[in-house]
Amino acid sequence: MDKHQIWQNCLDYIRERIPEQAYHTWFDGVALKEITAEAVNLAVPGKFHHEWLESKYNSLITDAVDRNIGRQLLVQYTVESNTSEPDNPPTMIPKTRSHERAYHNRTQLNSRYIFENFIEGKSNQLAKAAAISVAENPGQTPFNPLLIYSSTGLGKTHLLQAIGNYTYEHAPQMKVVYLTSEKFMLDFINAIQVNKSTEFASMYRNVDMLLLDDIQFFQKKEQTQEQFFHLFNELYQQGKQIVLSTDRPPSELTGLKERLVSRFQSGLMVDIQPPDLETRIAILMKKAEDDGLEIPFDITEYIATGIKDNIRELEGALIRLLAFSTLRKQAITMELAQKVLQDILGKSAFTEVTIDHVIKYVSREMKVSERQLLGKSRIMEIAHARQVAMYLAREFTNSSLINIGYHLGRRDHTTVIHACRTVEKKINKDPEFGRRIERMKRELDPKAMIHNL
């Protein structure tokens, strides 16, 4: 087999063992550069990519190479990028992209919101797929209306406007209107005040696609609800596409008329959940790429670990960090990142101990690299550190034994059980070791976590 076929076989092996989104995020741009007697060299698109693969997936890649080449080789990385990491603090000069335009006056759409820059993960996969289906075949799918609901800042508005932008791009003859429910209500009130309610109704009934954001604002607005109910019925009967968003399921919206809730529930309802860690990191990577910047690996992970439930907040934290760095002419360091994010969220946002925190802490405390900790080595010092990491992960996280084993080199739960028993026995027999473990527990305590990251 040539190297391309070998690497394809490796990719097939990897793809079966990790989530689909993680595979596309981290392996789509990776190629096998060369194979030597001692190592395989992988070409990766950036320094961050290299650090993430080496930190999180090195043991999986090594397994794949071992199985397909027949011997254990080192995995090395070559960053193939046209840009190098700057020594000076970054400047906030966003890249110019050809698709960027001003707001479409006719549709009120912001052209920055497109499907291509909506980062997909398990938390939003169905919502994005439904949105694309509606954009490609407006009014022709069973997804009418399409209703997307989620907490604030998770991408509802992005998807609504991406649907509109796609339609505007591919079917410019269609009349697409995007607006918030608040704007709809204000337009309705203004029309009543100037005796133009007929013109108001006619204007919205002539659209081909109506994208209405934040329908929870209709709660307790009875006249507005009545007006929208008739508009909805007319558009629906004509086969026009309706897409709605709200911050909770319609059944939980108090102050909405039952017949309106029934209309909202008659099509497809999809939710968006908070993104997982890898998706949050991918979002930050995309934001940094759009601004022409490379953010150090550990700082990107730190931001993504601290902000879990709001993408807008996540991107805002990165912007704030870059602004501090630029205005104060300081390089982006962990110290600066901690200060900026603590100012935004307070220390409490970073006090949850995760398996990754435990691995980093044990690696530093016991002077064993994370790569060794996650690898196959049975050298006494490394195996001992690995057992301590498993023990502390069980003590400080709510993760299952299976999950702990998976994070620590894809080991099974029986290995974790054995490790925990071994550490407990040593604590009882060796007072000095027991005191060391107690100190490590104190330092890993959530109140101290912010100082140990």
Mean pLDDT across the stretch 32-54? 82
pTM: 0.59
Superfamily name and number for 3-79: DnaA, N-terminal domain (3.30.300.180)
Q: What is the CATH number of domain 277-350?
A: 1.10.8.60
Is 79 strand, coil or helix? strand
Task: Work out the pLDDT band at 21, boundaries 50, 70, 90.
Answer: low
Whole-angstrom distance, CA of residue 180 vs CA of residue 334: 39
Most confident of 21-25, 156-160, 335-339: 156-160
Residue 301 vs residue 249, higher pLDDT: 249
Question: Which tokens sit at 88?
Answer: 């000076």
Sign for the pseudo-dihedral over CA of 432, 407, 367, 358: negative
Residue 450 has pLDDT above 60, yes or no: no
What is the share, in percent, of the chain residues with pLDDT greater than 90? 28
Residue 356 has pLDDT above 90, yes or no: no
Predicted local confidence at residue 18, as pLDDT: 81
Predicted local confidence at residue 74, as pLDDT: 84
Architecture of domain 115-271: 3-Layer(aba) Sandwich (3.40)
Q: What is the pLDDT of residues 100-140, one digit of tens each?
A: 343 444 557 888 889 988 888 888 989 999 999 999 999 88
DSSP type of residue 104: B
Spatial neighbors of 109 by CB under 8 A, at least 6 apart, are 103, 161, 164, 165, 168, 176, 178
Looking at 3.30.420.130, 3.40.50.1100, 3.40.50.12280, 1.10.1750.10, the CATH number of the domain 355-452 comes to: 1.10.1750.10
Residue 352 has pLDDT above 70, yes or no: no
Task: Work out the pLDDT band at 446, boundaries 50, 70, 90.
Answer: low
Predicted local confidence at residue 134, as pLDDT: 94
CA distance readout (Å), 174 to 14, 177, 219, 353: 44, 10, 30, 51
Residue 386 has pLDDT above 90, yes or no: yes
Predicted local confidence at residue 269, as pLDDT: 93
Task: Work out the pLDDT band at 72, boundaries 50, 70, 90.
Answer: confident
Give residue limits of the domains in the chain: 3-79, 115-271, 277-350, 355-452
**Nearest Cα residue to 114 out of 102, 99, 95, 130:** 99
Task: Work out the pLDDT band at 346, boundaries 50, 70, 90.
Answer: low
End-to-end Cα distance, the chain? 44
Residue 48 vs residue 347, higher pLDDT: 48
**Strand-pair category, 176-180 with 146-149:** unpaired
